[in-house]
């Protein structure tokens, strides 16, 4: 090995110098959790569900060229339930009305529901620190914030 290194004076691998120069450069590590990385504003993080915008009992959900109106069944909108690839959205009863419940355990954050919802009730956010030790905390139960919203 020594012979090879001594002979190849003009053909030395560049890594020898690079290794030494790296000792004097700043490391490339982001020291998470002390330093948090900067994410683009439109990255796909946790979903935000605005119950006041949702209208799951309406029939004929508004003009949206991505929907095929004939394919809607029944008198509930529920397009988010139908289009979720992971089956993460279920309908529950809240104050006598049917609303979607999003289970973030199963969600793959594809944002198909964000696109499909004709009223924009499910919105994007870039919050990504969802790790928790309690699975139940990841189920987003729909609830009204005050009486006014419920009417």
Partner 1 sequence: MSNAADMINLLESKFGDRIQIKQGTLEAGAIIANNGLHYDVLKAMIEADEKTGITAITGLDLGDKLGVYYHVHTAKPFFTIKAEVPKADPKIKTVVDIHPGALFHELEVTDLLGVVFVGNELQGHFVLSENWPDGVYPLRKDVDATKVQLVPTPEREANKNAEGRQVKIIIGPQHPALLEPEKFSVTVDGEIVTKVEPRIGYVHRGIEKTAESRSYLKDTYLVERVCGICNPIHAYAFVSTVEKILKPAVPERAEYLRVIALELNRLHSHLLTLGHAGLEIGYETLFQYFWRDREPIMDLIELTSGNRVYGSLITVGGVRRDLNPEHIPKIKSVLEDFRKKMPFYRKLYQEEPTLRLRMKDVGVLTREDALKLSVVGPVARGSGVDMDIRKTQPYSAYDEIPFKQIVYTEGDTWARMNVRMDEVEESINIIEYAVDHLPSGPVRVEVPRSVPEGEAVSSVEAPRGELFYYVKSNGTDMPERVKIRTPTFANIPSFLKTAIGESIADVPSNFVSLDPCFSCTDR
Partner 2 sequence: MIDLWLIFRILVFPGFTFILFLTLFCDWVERKLEARIQNRVGPMVAGPGGILQPLADFIKLLTKEDIEPRDTKKLVFRYAPLAAFSIMMFAMCFLPIDGASVISTGGFSGDLIIILAFATIANFLLFMAGWASANPYGTIGSARVLTQFLGYDIPLYLLALTPAFIAGSIQIATIASSFPYILLAPWAFILFIITMQAELEKDPFDVPHSESEVVGGLETEYTGAKLAFLHLTRDVQVVFGSALVVELFLGGPNGPVFFGLDWLFYTLWFVLKLLIVVVISEYITTVVARLRIDQVLTGNWKILLPAALLSLIAAVALATWVYHPFGIGMAVGV
Residue selected from 9, 10, 15, 40 as contacting partner 2 according to rule CB under 8 A:
15
Output 63 or 96, the one with its CB closest to partner 1.
63
Give yes or no for a contact between 97 and 57, defined as CB atoms under 8 angstroms apart: yes
DSSP state of 17: H
Smallest separation (angstroms) from partner 1 to the CB of 24: 16
Residue selected from 25, 33, 65, 151 as contacting partner 1 according to rule CB under 8 A:
65
Please name which of 51, 53, 37, 50 lies closest in space to residue 126, comparing C-alpha atoms: 37
For the chain, report the end-to-end CA distance as a whole number of angstroms. 82
Residue 94, beta-bridge partner list: 97
Q: Contacts with partner 2 in 22-41 (CB under 8 A)?
A: 22-23, 25, 27-29, 31
| Choices 41-49, 55-63, 93-101, 143-151 (CB under 8 A): range interacting with partner 1 | 41-49
């Amino acid at each position: 090995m020594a012979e090879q290194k001594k002979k190849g004076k003009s053909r030395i691998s560049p890594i020898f110098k690079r290794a030494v120069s790296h000792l004097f450069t700043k490391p490339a590590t982001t020291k998470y959790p002390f330093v948090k990385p900067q994410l683009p504003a439109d990255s796909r993080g946790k979903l935000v569900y605005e119950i006041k915008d949702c209208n799951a009992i309406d029939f004929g959900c508004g003009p949206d060229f991505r929907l095929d109106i004939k394919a809607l069944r029944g008198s509930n909108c529920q397009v988010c339930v139908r289009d979720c690839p992971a089956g993460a959205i279920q309908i529950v009863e809240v104050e006598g009305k049917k609303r979607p419940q999003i289970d973030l355990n199963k969600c793959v954050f594809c944002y198909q529901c964000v696109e499909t919802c004709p009223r924009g009730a499910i919105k994007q956010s870039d919050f990504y620190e969802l790790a928790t030790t309690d699975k139940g905390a990841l189920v987003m139960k729909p609830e009204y914030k005050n009486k006014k919203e419920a009417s």
